[in-house]
RNA sequence: GGGCCCGUGGCUUAGCCCGGUUAGAGCGCCCGGCUGAUAACCGGGAGGUCCCGGGUUCAAAUCCCGGCGGGCCCA
């Protein structure tokens, strides 16, 4: 039971299979042969590069399985495939982990540690993770990506494409330096993009305070505002009222004092109740626009004297609502995007006294040197002490946190660099309309996101990233954008003595001294770029496109990309943006958006919950093929998938059946000396039986539909259909029919025809399986297919997708009916209490269309002497299957009793043969000892039958010296067998 | 706060777009049977408020509205 190194062991063992196959692939360079180009049409895949930070888990495995299926399928279809791997190796996640490892708490710590050492640590860290990704995220999965030629975003030849794109943006007037309010992480000391902010929304509890601002020139008239960020009051510059809303001046008595509070009229009674004010009355109302211009005293004028020196007043704004707060909105232009816009409109000063690290600077007066998180509490205390705090509460709301370190984010105004996406948004949208986004139902999200796309903040105040290639003239502030490393070298007056790899990274790049005729000293803007720009230029950078135009021209736009739904706003977007900017076109033709991976309870996987399933654990426990098959069959790729490791064993059973089908074939083909080249299907099919033509019809349907499902990315349907064919049609049905033909020693032509058919079916089924379970398909190809067909391709992965032959629909229909009739017959036997081993004289079938066609097979399957077509005689036991009805006599016929006993004896001998470990071809001697005359008569009558079925050369009735005692229908029978 | 997806026996799910026999299947469970490829298979059975409530309709798992639970996205 072996061919070469591939043995068909009694049962399927994924680990042994995968190990043997991996060695075979390596030794024979199958992957190289698979990926090499033969001048065929190219199917170009662009790898969404995993961040080599953290270990691959089942979510990655899901996406990477889909990639592999699509690539293998297209190779089978005859395409030359482009399967370059890629790795995303820079960015904040890497820095964050290094900081944790080195126990660095702030950017100052990093600087003290040394930027050079820090950058090298980051590089070492991604290098380390890369090994895991190569092994567990790729090789052990059986994912055939070209890792030798994988692109790496940290390489000079790669990252300079991000520079090219920025330069192109600059030339097109799309690079902007702007002062804007952005989210910052004070811990990481950098701004974040919209995408990064979106990753970190979490519910939290914050203060919810109502504060009164005293109206200038009065000692008891106030404007009442509401905020959840007390620290921003330090930088308050105005109060906004809606121009159309009514505002009330409310006379209130608090303690001993009589005061006048301004707030929205509609909210007065509910707020008075909230504040616990019992005595109040409205004495005047004004519309917001009438209130405008009213001046007030900054509530922290004493704490921050600078503020007292300026005037503050009420302005109007449409964005004011009455859903929360008081209808009067505290405006801190340095800490809110709407506030900022309003300030620009009214010429109000933008004050930001908070530095990037969250510490107040000299503009912060009393709060100078303190951290924003502490000031948040201190401001409340100070307001309370000054009697300006009207009411204090807590609020639970969704608020953004840093996606890496979890710190509460703050909004602050700062100078940053942008790509003004708003100006190419329409072009991006129209290009996106040409892309096939799968599934249709998720494309809306992508469309909407692109239509609403905002300018892209690309600058980050970090270290381990692609440096922003913008230099500024120290003298006059002009800027210079460098588009490549060569260009930089040409411009440089002085270059640090390091290799190119270091030269394109911080801190070394900042040691480059540039001077030009018109400017003595250029200074680089101290930023790196958003990491999404790194992977975003892969459509060009992966193949160093500007230097390899011919290759790039064959690949672009790429046929296929696929990632998770979260990448709609991530990579899918950054690819589209940079490509439209640079080439005016979308960089891909088809985008497959994958659903999320959840744990078995439908919960999102996260490290903190501890429910992450790691690739390594999964493969070590189950093997890659079962995991792949499970993932593929459980859900459509775009649906969320709840992953339950225990369910993997279900698909294991299916692969076990595939394995056993090959073993079955091997068992009999080797006994009978079958050879696919000596018995070609085309010649021998004519000598076969109808069931052979039936199974080929079923196979042809499979071949056609499997391909059409895969083309639509309906992997789950393709796999389900394959499974159904292998388990039901092939194993349960066809092989059951085949038994009677293969057991015979006679070299009948129909047996060889059956072998030719079976061989063709198994071979075809393995080629289809090669796209989703590449290891076991290869193993069986080597162990079985190549054993019986020497000229078969060296590897199943070098085969071609089979041509689908004709389908005889009527034949398929007839066989469907046959198995329904058998099912009804079995049910009738069950009711009558007659087991299948006992022959039945006659069965009637009615309501069938094709009964005449398969009567012989039904006799065999149902162990019936005669099948009659027609209605049931009186007193017979009936059972129905749909329209079809089967019935049998209610009692066993006496004349069939000996035959029944003979079958019982055969069955016992077969069990004993197997227990004795005999080969199928071994002959035996049998002794039967019994007092039962019936059993003795049965043996005498059916001596030839028993001998033939059990390969007995000698069958005696007499004294057994050993063996085993059985109970056959109440009779004690001792049977002894010996190898002849 | 806004948008979207999901919710079907113990578990996993098909059906829903396009309303219409008895809601189908796999796993598990119980009973019976088969078996020299098969820890497989075949027959039968138990097991369902199709998340809840309302509406449309002769008729709703399916269409509409409102909840609840899980998830995603946007703010």
Nearest to A212 by CA among A400, A384, A455, A364: A384
Pair A875, A943 in one domain: no
Cβ of A16 near strand B (under 7 Å)? The reply is: no
Q: What one-character DSSP code corresponds to residue A872? A: P
pLDDT tens, residue by residue, A700-753: 989 988 898 898 888 888 888 888 888 888 888 888 888 888 877 778 898 999
Q: Residues 6 or more apart from A600 whose CB is under 8 A from it?
A: A642, A643, A644, A645, A646
Chain A 921-960, CB < 7 Å to strand B:
922, 924, 950-951
* A459: in domain: no
CA of A828 to C1' of B44 (A): 10
* A670: in domain: no
Does the annotation mark A607 as catalytic?
yes
* A409: in domain: no
Q: Which secondary-structure segment (H or E) carries A532?
A: helix A531-536
pLDDT tens, residue by residue, A135-184: 999 999 999 999 999 999 999 999 999 999 999 999 999 999 988 888 88
Pair A257, A383 in one domain: yes
Sequential DSSP letters for A960-980: -SSSEEEEETTEEEEEEEEE-
**Residue A564 · residue A227 · CB < 8 Å:** no
* A342: in domain: no
pLDDT tens, residue by residue, A575-589: 999 999 999 999 999
Predicted local distance difference test score (pLDDT) of residue A922: 82
Cβ of A671 near strand B (under 7 Å)? The reply is: no
Pair A159, A294 in one domain: no
Separation between Cα atoms, residue A227 and residue A325, nearest integer Å: 7
Higher pLDDT, A573 or A399: A573
CA-derived radius of gyration, chain A: 39
Q: Which of A75-89, A327-341, A632-646 has the lowest mean pLDDT?
A: A632-646
Pair A388, A245 in one domain: yes
* A475: in domain: no
pLDDT tens, residue by residue, A891-916: 877 778 888 888 888 888 888 887 77
Pair A243, A257 in one domain: yes
Query: Structural domain of residue A227, as residue ranges?
Result: 205-332+372-396
Nucleotide nearest to A663 (CA to C1'): B37
Cβ of A832 near strand B (under 7 Å)? The reply is: no
Cβ burial of A84 (10 Å; 0-12, 13-18, 19+) is buried
Separation between Cα atoms, residue A601 and residue A821, nearest integer Å: 42
Edge-to-edge, what's the strand order for the sheet holding A519-524? A479-481, A470-473, A519-524, A513-516, A492-494
Nucleotide nearest to A397 (CA to C1'): B1
Nucleotide nearest to A654 (CA to C1'): B40
Nearest to A544 by CA among A556, A529, A561, A530: A556
Predicted local distance difference test score (pLDDT) of residue A656: 87
pLDDT tens, residue by residue, A349-392: 888 999 988 999 999 999 999 999 999 999 999 999 999 999 99
Share of chain A above pLDDT 70, in %: 99
Pair A140, A216 in one domain: no
Cβ of A878 near strand B (under 7 Å)? The reply is: no
Listed as ranges, the nucleotides of chain B within 7 A of a protein C-beta are 1, 4-5, 11-14, 26-27, 32-44, 70-75
Confidence of residue A199 (pLDDT cuts 50, 70, 90): low
Separation between Cα atoms, residue A952 and residue A802, nearest integer Å: 43
User: What is the arithmetic mean of pLDDT over A921-930?
Assistant: 87
pLDDT score of A225 more than 60: yes
Confidence of residue A2 (pLDDT cuts 50, 70, 90): very low
Predicted local distance difference test score (pLDDT) of residue A195: 65
pTM equals 0.87
Predicted local distance difference test score (pLDDT) of residue A1: 41
- Helices and strands (H, E) in chain A, number of each type: 36, 40
Pair A89, A131 in one domain: yes
Predicted local distance difference test score (pLDDT) of residue A3: 58
Does the annotation mark A532 as catalytic?
yes
CA of A874 to C1' of B54 (A): 55
Cβ of A835 near strand B (under 7 Å)? The reply is: yes
Cβ of A506 near strand B (under 7 Å)? The reply is: no
Pair A119, A263 in one domain: no
CA of A441 to C1' of B58 (A): 34
Cβ burial of A472 (10 Å; 0-12, 13-18, 19+) is middle
| A213: CATH | 3.90.740.10
Pair A238, A131 in one domain: no
User: What is the arithmetic mean of pLDDT over A98-106?
Assistant: 87
Cβ of A724 near strand B (under 7 Å)? The reply is: no
Nucleotide nearest to A569 (CA to C1'): B73
User: What is the arithmetic mean of pLDDT over A38-49?
Assistant: 96
User: What is the arithmetic mean of pLDDT over A797-804?
Assistant: 95
Does the annotation mark A508 as catalytic?
no
Pair A557, A603 in one domain: yes
Residue with minimal CA–C1' distance to B27 is A650
User: What is the arithmetic mean of pLDDT over A397-407?
Assistant: 78
Of the residues A846, A874, A892, the one at which a domain ends: A892
Nucleotide nearest to A910 (CA to C1'): B36
Share of chain A above pLDDT 90, in %: 47
The number of distinct structural domains making up chain A is 4
What mean pLDDT is reported for chain A?
89
Backbone angles phi, psi at A16, to 5 degrees: -65, -40
pLDDT tens, residue by residue, A333-344: 999 888 888 888
Confidence of residue A498 (pLDDT cuts 50, 70, 90): very high
Of the residues A396, A428, A452, the one at which a domain ends: A396
Pair A231, A161 in one domain: no
Higher pLDDT, A470 or A874: A470
Chain A 193-212, CB < 7 Å to strand B:
194-195, 197-199, 201
User: What is the arithmetic mean of pLDDT over A954-970?
Assistant: 82
Predicted local distance difference test score (pLDDT) of residue A4: 63
Residue with minimal CA–C1' distance to B13 is A634
Of the residues A356, A381, A396, the one at which a domain ends: A396
Please report how the helices A571-583 and A425-432 are oriented relative to each other, as an axis angle in degrees rounded to 10: 110
**Which one of the listed residues A14, A25, A49, A654 is annotated catalytic?**
A49
**Which one of the listed residues A532, A539, A722, A966 is annotated catalytic?**
A532
Cβ burial of A659 (10 Å; 0-12, 13-18, 19+) is buried
Cβ of A911 near strand B (under 7 Å)? The reply is: yes
Predicted local distance difference test score (pLDDT) of residue A401: 84
* A473: in domain: no
Sequential DSSP letters for A114-155: -HHHHHHHHHHHHHHHHHHHHIIIIITTT---EEEEEEETTS
Cβ of A816 near strand B (under 7 Å)? The reply is: no
pLDDT score of A888 more than 80: yes
**Which one of the listed residues A90, A567, A594, A782 is annotated catalytic?**
A567
Predicted local distance difference test score (pLDDT) of residue A909: 86
* A783: in domain: no
Backbone angles phi, psi at A49, to 5 degrees: -70, 125
* A792: in domain: no
Which residues, listed in sequence order, are joined to residue A269 by a DSSP beta bridge? none
Pair A243, A385 in one domain: yes
């Amino acid at each position: 039971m072996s061919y070469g190194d591939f043995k068909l062991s009694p049962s399927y063992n994924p680990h042994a299979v995968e190990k043997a196959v991996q060695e075979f692939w390596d030794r024979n360079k199958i992957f190289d042969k698979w990926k090499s180009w033969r001048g065929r049409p190219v199917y170009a895949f662009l790898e969404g590069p995993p961040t080599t930070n953290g270990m691959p888990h089942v979510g990655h495995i899901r996406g990477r399985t889909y990639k592999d299926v699509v690539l293998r399928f297209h190779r089978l279809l005859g395409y030359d495939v482009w399967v370059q791997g890629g790795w995303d190796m820079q960015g904040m996640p890497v820095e964050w982990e290094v900081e944790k490892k080195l126990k660095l708490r702030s950017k100052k710590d990093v600087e003290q540690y040394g930027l050079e050492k820090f950058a090298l640590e980051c590089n070492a860290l991604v290098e380390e993770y890369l090994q895991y990704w190569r092994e567990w995220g790729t090789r052990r999965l059986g994912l055939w990506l070209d890792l030798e030629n994988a692109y790496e975003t940290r390489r000079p030849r790669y990252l300079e494409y991000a520079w090219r794109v920025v330069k192109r943006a600059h030339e097109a007037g799309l690079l902007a330096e702007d002062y804007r309010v952005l989210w910052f992480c004070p811990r990481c000391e950098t701004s974040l993009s919209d995408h990064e902010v979106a990753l970190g929304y979490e519910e939290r509890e914050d203060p919810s305070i109502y504060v009164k601002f005293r109206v200038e020139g009065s000692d008891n008239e106030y404007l009442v505002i509401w905020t959840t960020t007390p620290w921003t009051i330090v930088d308050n510059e105005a109060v906004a009222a809606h121009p159309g809303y009514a505002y009330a001046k409310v006379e209130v008595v608090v303690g001993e004092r009589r005061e006048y509070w301004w707030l929205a009229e509609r909210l007065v009674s509910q707020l008075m109740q909230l504040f616990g004010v019992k005595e109040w009355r409205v004495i005047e109302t004004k519309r917001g626009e009438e209130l405008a211009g009213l001046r007030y005293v900054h509530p922290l004028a004493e704490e921050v004297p600078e503020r007292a020196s300026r005037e503050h007043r009420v302005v109007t704004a449409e964005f004011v609502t009455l859903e929360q707060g008081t209808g009067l909105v505290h405006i801190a232009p340095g800490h809110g995007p709407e506030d900022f816009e309003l300030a620009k409109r009214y010429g109000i000063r933008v004050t930001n006294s908070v530095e990037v690290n969250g510490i107040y600077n000299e503009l912060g007066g009393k709060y100078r040197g303190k951290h924003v998180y502490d000031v948040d509490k201190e401001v409340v205390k100070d307001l309370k002490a000054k009697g300006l705090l009207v009411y204090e509460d807590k609020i639970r709301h969704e608020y953004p946190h840093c996606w890496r370190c979890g710190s509460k984010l703050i909004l602050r105004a700062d100078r940053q660099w942008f790509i003004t996406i708003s100006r190419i948004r329409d072009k991006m949208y129209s290009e996106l309309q040409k892309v096939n986004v799968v599934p249709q139902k998720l494309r809306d999200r992508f469309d909407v996101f692109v239509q609403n796309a905002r300018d892209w903040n690309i600058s980050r105040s970090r270290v381990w990233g692609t440096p922003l290639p913008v230099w500024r003239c120290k003298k006059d502030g002009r800027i210079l954008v460098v588009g490549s490393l060569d260009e930089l070298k040409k411009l440089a007056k002085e270059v640090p003595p390091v290799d190119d790899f270091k030269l394109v990274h911080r801190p070394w790049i900042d040691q480059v001294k540039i001077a030009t005729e018109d400017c003595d000293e250029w200074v680089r803007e101290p930023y790196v770029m958003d990491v999404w720009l790194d992977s975003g230029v892969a459509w060009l950078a992966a193949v160093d496109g500007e230097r390899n135009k011919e290759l790039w021209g064959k690949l672009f736009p790429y046929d296929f990309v696929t990632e998770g739904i979260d990448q709609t706003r991530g990579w899918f977007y950054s690819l589209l943006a940079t490509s439209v900017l640079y080439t005016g076109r979308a960089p891909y033709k088809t985008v497959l958006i994958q659903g999320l991976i959840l744990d078995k309870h439908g919960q999102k996987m996260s490290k903190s919950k501890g429910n992450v399933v790691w690739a390594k654990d999964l493969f070590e426990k189950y093997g890659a093929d079962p995991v792949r098959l499970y993932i593929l069959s459980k859900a459509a790729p775009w649906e969320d998938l709840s992953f339950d490791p225990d369910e993997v064993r279900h698909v294991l059973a299916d692969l076990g059946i595939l394995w056993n089908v090959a073993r079955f074939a091997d068992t009999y083909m080797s006994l009978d000396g079958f050879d696919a080249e000596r018995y070609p299907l085309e010649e021998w099919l004519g000598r076969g039986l109808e069931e052979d033509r039936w199974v080929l019809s079923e196979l042809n349907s499979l071949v056609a539909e499997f391909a059409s499902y895969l083309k639509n990315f309906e992997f789950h349907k393709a796999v389900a259909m394959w499974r159904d064919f292998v388990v039901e049609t092939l194993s349960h049905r066809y092989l059951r029919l085949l038994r009677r033909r293969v057991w015979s020693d006679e070299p009948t032509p129909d047996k060889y025809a059956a072998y030719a058919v079976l061989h063709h079916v198994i071979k075809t089924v393995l080629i289809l399986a090669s796209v989703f379970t590449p290891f076991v398909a290869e193993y069986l190809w080597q162990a079985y297919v190549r054993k019986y067909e020497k000229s078969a391709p060296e590897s199943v992965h070098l085969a071609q997708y089979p041509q689908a032959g004709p389908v005889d629909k009527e034949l398929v229909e007839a066989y469907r009916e046959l198995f329904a009739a058998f099912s009804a017959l079995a049910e009738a036997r069950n009711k009558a209490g007659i087991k299948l081993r006992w022959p039945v004289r006659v069965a009637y079938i009615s309501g069938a269309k094709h009964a005449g066609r398969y009567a012989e097979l039904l006799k065999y399957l149902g162990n019936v002497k005669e099948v009659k077509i027609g209605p049931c005689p009186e007193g017979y036991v009936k059972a129905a299957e749909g329209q079809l009805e089967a019935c049998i006599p209610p009692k066993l016929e006496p004349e069939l009793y000996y035959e029944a006993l003979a079958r019982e004896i055969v069955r016992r001998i077969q069990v004993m043969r197997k227990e004795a470990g005999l080969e199928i071809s071994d002959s035996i001697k049998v002794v039967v000892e019994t007092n039962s005359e019936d059993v003795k008569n049965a043996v005498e009558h059916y001596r030839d039958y028993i001998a033939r079925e059990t390969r007995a050369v000698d069958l005696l009735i007499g004294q057994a010296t050993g063996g085993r005692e059985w109970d056959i229908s109440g009779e004690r029978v001792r049977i002894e067998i010996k190898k002849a």
